[in-house]
Chain A
Amino acid sequence: MNPAAPSVRTEPPPRRPAGPAARPGTPPRDRRARYRRTARLAFLVPAGLYVLFAFVVPVIYNLILSFEVTTPATIASLFAPWAGLSNYKITLLQSITQSALIRTLTFTVLSLLFQFLIGFGLALLFNLRFPLNKLARSLVIVPWLLPFLVTGFIFRFLFQLEAGAVNQVLLDVHLIHAPIGYLLSPGWAYVTVLITNIWLGVPFFTVLLFSALQDVPPELKEAAMIDGAGPWQTLVRVTLPVIRPVIEVTFVLGFVFTVKVFDIVISLTQGGPANSTQLIATWAYNLSFQQFDYGAGAALNTVLLIIALLVAPVYIRLNRDSLRQG
C-alpha cells in the first residue's frame, strides 16, 4: 500500500551502546557516538509525547472512567468512586445500546458491500480509455474531501419531505406517487444515513482500486485472453487475485472508518427518530454529553474500541513490508 519505497539503506548498523566506556576520560569518539545516539532519539521525542497525550492517556483514562460512578459533579475531580462492572452491565443491557450495536454491524457490512461494488465498478470504468478520463478521475474524489458534517447537512436538505431533490426526482419519473418522509420514519432514516455514508466512501474505494488495477501487468491479462478466457474470467481469475492485497487494505480501512461514523448521523438525524439511527459512536456521545453519564459513555466507548481494534492485527500484517524496512 505504501508507494514504492525501495530499501536503499546502506548505512552500517548502529554502534553498540557506549555504556560504561562513555565516562569522562574516554576517547572523544565514544562520547560523540553517544551524543549522536541521543540526538537521533531526540527526533522521536515530540511524536512520543504527542502519542502519549492524544492516544495512550485517553485510552487508559477512558478505561478508568468506565469503571467509575460518574455524575456531572464528579467531572470536577479527576477520579470518582469505583463502580466495578456496573457501567458495562447497565449500558449493555439497555435495548437502545443493543440495537445500536447490531445496527452498527449491519450498517458497516452494507456500507462496505455497496462502496466496494460501486467503487470497483467505477475503477474498472476508469481503467478503460475514454475522453476526459483524467478529469473525471479527479472529480470523483470530491465527496471524500468534504467535511463529513457538511455532507450530512446537504443530504438532509436533499432528502427533506417537500422541496427535497430526491422526492422531486422520484415523483417526476413516477416512481412514487406521494413524497416520502425519509427522515421521519425509522426505516427510511436508516436507509438515508446508509446512502449518505456510501456516497462519501465510494471515492476512497474507487481511487485505491483504480491504482491497483493500473498495476496489474497487461501481459497477464493478454496471456489469459490468448488462453481463451473471456473478459469475465480474466477479471475473476487474473485481475482479482492480483489486486487482492489492495482490496484487503481497502476493506480494513473502510471498516475502521465505518464503525466510528458519527458526523453524518448527528447532522442528518441526531440518532432519531426515536433512536432508530443511533450507532455505537453516536449513542456513546449521547450517554456522555447529553445524559452526562460519562462512565456509561466510556463503557460503550471501550466496546467500540475493542470492535475497531479487531482489525488491528490484519492491518499491521498488511503493512508488514513497511514494518520490515525499519
Chain B
Amino acid sequence: MGRQRKFTPWLAGITALVALAILLFPVYAVIVGSFENNAQLLGTHYNFFPPTPTLANYRNVISTQGSHILSSLIIGVATAILTLAIALPAAHALARYRFRVTVAVVASLLVAQILPSIVIANSLFVVYHKLHLLNSYPGLILADASYAVPFSILVLRAFMLGLPNDVLQAARVDGATEWGTFVRVVLPMSRSAIITVALFAFLNGWGDFIFALTLLNGSTLQPITLSIYNYIGVFSQNLGAAMALAVFAILPAAMMLIAAQRYIAAGLTVGSVKG
C-alpha cells in the first residue's frame, strides 16, 4: 500500500502530462507555424521547430489585418456590453421578484439556449436585408449577443439568488428605489458573476463565425474569423500569415486563462457557455 501511494501520483502526473501534450499540441503547432515561411509550412515534411524563425508573418498581419483585428475587438467588447445591459436587469428581476411568468421566462431562456445559430442567421439575413442592417456593426453585434444572452441571464440569476436578502431589505427600508437597490447594492455584490459573463460574451463576439459569414459580405466590415476563412480559400498562397492571424485570434482566450482563470472555470462549471 505504501509503495503504491508513492507511485500513483507520479503515474497520474505523467499520464496527465501526456494527455495535455496531445490536447495542447494544435496550439503549439499554430504558434510554431506562425514563425515559418510558406515553403516550410507547405514543404515535404512537418517541422516541430521553426527551421529559420521569421517575424515576416506578423509584420504582414499587422500591416494588412490591423483594421480587422480592431473590428473583432469592437465586436467582442460591444457584444459583452450589450449582453450585460440586457441580462443584468432581467436576472435581477427574475431572482428578486415573484412574477407569475417567472417559470415560463426561465424555461423559454433554456429553450433559447438550444436554438441553433444557423436557424437564426438564415432568418436574420432576410430580415436584415429589409432593415438595412446587413454589413453593419449594430446588426452583427445584435446577432452575436444571441450566443450569450440566455446563458448570461441564467448564470447571473443563479448567482443573485444567493445574495443575502437582509442587505437588500435594508436598502429598501432606507428608502432606496428598485433601480437604486439594483445599481448600488446588487451590481457591486455580483461583481464576480458579471466578470464571468462579460468574458464569455466577449469570447462569443470575438470568435463568432456563423453570423459574420452570413450577415456580412466581407467588403466593408471583416472580423478576423472571416479573414482566416478567406485565407483558407487561397490556402497555399499565404498560409504563414494565416497562422500569425490565428495566433492573434487565440490571444484573448490565452490572456483570460492567465489573468482571469477562476472566472473562466466558474463559467464552464455552470454549464453551456458557447453557442
- Give the interface of A toward B (CB within 8 A): 1-11, 13-14, 36, 39-44, 46-48, 50-51, 53-55, 57-59, 61-62, 65, 75-76, 78, 122, 125-126, 128-133, 136, 138-151, 153-158, 160, 162-165, 167-169, 199, 202-204, 207-208, 211, 249, 253, 256-257, 259-260, 262-263, 266-267, 281, 284-285, 288-289, 294, 297-298, 301-302, 304-305, 308-309, 311-312, 315-316, 319, 322-323, 325-326
A249 touches B265 (CB 8 A): no
B122 touches A75 (CB 8 A): no
B24 touches A139 (CB 8 A): yes
A302 to B38, CA, bound (A): 43
For residue B212, which residue of chain A has the nearest CB? A149
Given known A36-B178, A50-B149, A130-B16, contact A312–B110 (CB-CB < 8 A): yes
Tell me how far the C-beta of B138 lies from the nearest C-beta in chain A, rounded to whole angstroms: 12
B44 touches A128 (CB 8 A): no
B214 touches A285 (CB 8 A): yes
Residue of A11, A147, A253 most packed against chain B (CB within 10 A): A147
Q: Does any Cβ of A come within 8 Å of B64's Cβ?
A: no
A157 to B113, CA, bound (A): 32
B119 touches A304 (CB 8 A): yes
A157 touches B29 (CB 8 A): yes
A316 touches B26 (CB 8 A): no
Q: Which residues of the other chain, A, contact B119 by a CB distance below 8 angstroms?
A: 58-59, 62, 301-302, 304-305
Given known A59-B115, A153-B242, A322-B158, contact A202–B122 (CB-CB < 8 A): no
A46 to B231, CA, bound (A): 38
Q: Does any Cβ of A come within 8 Å of B209's Cβ?
A: yes
Q: Which residues of the other chain, A, contact B111 by a CB distance below 8 angstroms?
A: 309, 312, 316
Q: Does any Cβ of A come within 8 Å of B2's Cβ?
A: no
Given known A145-B256, A199-B23, contact A47–B118 (CB-CB < 8 A): no
Kindly identify which residue among A62, A149, A208 contacts B269, using a CB–CB cutoff of 8 Å: A208
| Cβ proximity bits B30-66 to A, threshold 8 Å, 1 near / 0 not | 1001000000111111111000000000000000000
Q: Does any Cβ of A come within 8 Å of B222's Cβ?
A: no
A315 to B161, CA, bound (A): 20
B26 touches A158 (CB 8 A): yes
Q: Which residues of the other chain, A, contact B242 by a CB distance below 8 angstroms?
A: 153
Given known A151-B26, A284-B118, contact A165–B46 (CB-CB < 8 A): yes
Q: Which residues of the other chain, B, contact A145 by a CB distance below 8 angstroms?
A: 203, 250, 253, 256-257, 264
A312 touches B114 (CB 8 A): yes
B33 touches A157 (CB 8 A): yes
- Which residues of B150-205 have CB atoms within 8 Å of chain A's CB atoms? 153-154, 157-159, 161-165, 169, 177-179, 182, 203
Given known A2-B158, A13-B98, A139-B20, contact A146–B114 (CB-CB < 8 A): no
Kindly identify which residue among A36, A47, A131, A160 contacts B149, using a CB–CB cutoff of 8 Å: A47
Q: Which residues of the other chain, A, contact B19 by a CB distance below 8 angstroms?
A: 122, 125, 140
Kindly identify which residue among B16, B30, B169, B179 contacts A126, using a CB–CB cutoff of 8 Å: B16
Tell me how far the C-beta of A15 lies from the nearest C-beta in chain B, rounded to whole angstroms: 11
Kindly identify which residue among A44, A144, A169, A207 contacts B90, using a CB–CB cutoff of 8 Å: A44
Q: Which residues of the other chain, A, contact B87 by a CB distance below 8 angstroms?
A: 47
A58 touches B123 (CB 8 A): yes
B29 touches A54 (CB 8 A): no
A207 touches B269 (CB 8 A): yes
Kindly identify which residue among B29, B164, B177, B269 contacts A211, using a CB–CB cutoff of 8 Å: B269
**Other A-B pairs, 15, CB within 8 Å; known A125-B12, A142-B24, A305-B116:** A10-B165, A11-B98, A43-B97, A44-B105, A51-B112, A54-B112, A61-B127, A139-B24, A149-B228, A154-B27, A165-B46, A302-B119, A311-B114, A312-B114, A315-B113
Q: Does any Cβ of A come within 8 Å of B70's Cβ?
A: no
B149 touches A125 (CB 8 A): no
- Give the interface of B toward A (CB within 8 A): 8-10, 12-13, 15-17, 19-20, 23-27, 29-30, 33, 40-48, 85-87, 89-90, 92-94, 96-99, 102-103, 105-127, 129-130, 142-143, 145-146, 149, 153-154, 157-159, 161-165, 169, 177-179, 182, 203, 206-210, 213-214, 225, 228-229, 231-232, 235, 239, 242-243, 246, 249-250, 253-254, 256-257, 261, 264-266, 268-272, 274
Q: Which residues of the other chain, A, contact B250 by a CB distance below 8 angstroms?
A: 145-147, 150
A293 to B88, CA, bound (A): 39
Tell me how far the C-beta of A220 lies from the nearest C-beta in chain B, rounded to whole angstroms: 21
For residue A264, which residue of chain B has the nearest CB? B209
A289 to B212, CA, bound (A): 13
Q: What are 24 A-to-B residue pairs whose CB atoms are below 8 Å?
A: A5-B161, A8-B165, A51-B112, A51-B149, A54-B149, A59-B120, A61-B123, A61-B127, A78-B126, A140-B19, A142-B257, A145-B256, A147-B206, A148-B209, A150-B250, A153-B228, A153-B232, A157-B239, A162-B42, A199-B23, A203-B23, A289-B213, A294-B126, A301-B118
Given known A65-B126, A140-B20, contact A44–B89 (CB-CB < 8 A): yes
Q: Which residues of the other chain, B, contact A6 by a CB distance below 8 angstroms?
A: 161-162
Tell me how far the C-beta of B274 lies from the nearest C-beta in chain A, rounded to whole angstroms: 7
Tell me how far the C-beta of B230 lies from the nearest C-beta in chain A, rounded to whole angstroms: 11
Tell me how far the C-beta of B248 lies from the nearest C-beta in chain A, rounded to whole angstroms: 10
A167 to B46, CA, bound (A): 9
Tell me how far the C-beta of A98 lies from the nearest C-beta in chain B, rounded to whole angstroms: 19
Given known A142-B253, A150-B225, contact A309–B114 (CB-CB < 8 A): yes
Q: Which residues of the other chain, A, contact B228 by a CB distance below 8 angstroms?
A: 149-150, 153, 267
A157 to B125, CA, bound (A): 31
Tell me how far the C-beta of B105 lies from the nearest C-beta in chain A, rounded to whole angstroms: 7
